[in-house]
Amino acid sequence: MTKHLLIHGDSLALPRQGVCYEETWPYFLQDQLSEWHVLNRSLDGNTSEILNSDTDWENERRLDYFEPSAVIVQLGIADCAPRYLRKFESTLVDSVPSDILRRALLFLATNLRSRSQKRAYVPRSRYEANIDAFLGRCKAVGVPKVLFIHILSPSEKYLAKNPTVASAIKAYNEVIQKMTMKYNFVQSVRPLADSIDDELEIADEYTLEDGYHLNPEGNCRAADRILSTLQEQDPM
């Protein structure tokens, strides 16, 4: 019987300009795990809210009907990143029909405000609650293994755009680490290196010009680290 590996992620688990599908870490995993079927349910801009949808049917299908033998979660940067606009403000601006007015509002926001953690799309407490609830569901239906990928340590390029993001990433990654201690079926891995310091040193080398999305080499490195972590205790 084919085993299912379910991935919940954001744009970091998807192809984009400079990274084709065959160069993404989910593709690398599928290539290595020939007896598994990888279900990549990632979407641009996904936050931890997706783990606990208000739709009961979606929650049921996610774990009860996919019946994953392992789950990988790569969510957090869209939750924690300091923003110019709160989520509801961003939604309102996006709904403005006039392109000129929309651009004007964005110009005002980015020039009259600085990025703030207070405007993060998902507060840390809510992030923790989302993850905890999801893991509770995983435990209830008997998912044997869940792997969280830590939010990537920020490169110099990314820090130049968002100077306060490092502290936010650290705080939200602490939530992931807390969950590994609470649930014995949960593991975590950093995408590029074992320590924050080591990851900071190489983040620019393995990311695209935006300073955050992994380039093909970064995706390959992340895939190797993910696969190694999943196979640490018992081979997949």
Which segment of 204-208, 221-225, 227-231 scores lowest on mean pLDDT? 227-231
The yes-or-no verdict on residue 55 having pLDDT over 60 is: no
pTM of the model: 0.91
- 232 against 14, higher pLDDT: 14
Q: Which strands form 146-149's sheet, in the order they lie side by side? A: 36-40, 3-9, 70-74, 146-149, 186-189
Please report the pLDDT score of residue 101 as a whole number: 87
The yes-or-no verdict on residue 54 having pLDDT over 60 is: no
**What residue ranges do the domains of the chain occupy?**
3-82+120-230, 85-118
Q: How far apart are the first and last CA of the chain?
A: 13
The yes-or-no verdict on residue 236 having pLDDT over 70 is: no
In the structure encoding, which two tokens stand for residue 87, read together?
A: 């989520």
Please report the pLDDT score of residue 224 as a whole number: 97
- Describe the crossing of helices 216-230 and 25-32 by its angle, rounded to 10 degrees: 50
Distance of CA 148 to the CA centre of its chain: 9
Please report the pLDDT score of residue 53 as a whole number: 67
Please report the pLDDT score of residue 60 as a whole number: 67
Please report the pLDDT score of residue 11 as a whole number: 95
The string of pLDDT tens digits covering residues 182-203 is 999 999 999 999 999 999 999 9
Please report the pLDDT score of residue 233 as a whole number: 58
Which segment of 53-62, 78-87, 130-139, 150-159 scores lowest on mean pLDDT? 53-62
The string of pLDDT tens digits covering residues 58-82 is 666 778 788 899 999 999 999 999 9
The string of pLDDT tens digits covering residues 149-181 is 999 999 999 999 899 999 999 999 999 999 999
- 236 against 48, higher pLDDT: 48
Region 203-210: mean pLDDT is: 95
DSSP letter (8 states) at residue 11 = G
Strands (E), the chain: 3-9, 36-40, 70-74, 146-149, 186-189
What class has domain 3-82+120-230? alpha beta
The yes-or-no verdict on residue 6 having pLDDT over 80 is: yes
Region 89-94: mean pLDDT is: 86
Question: For all residues of the chain together, what is the average pLDDT?
Answer: 91
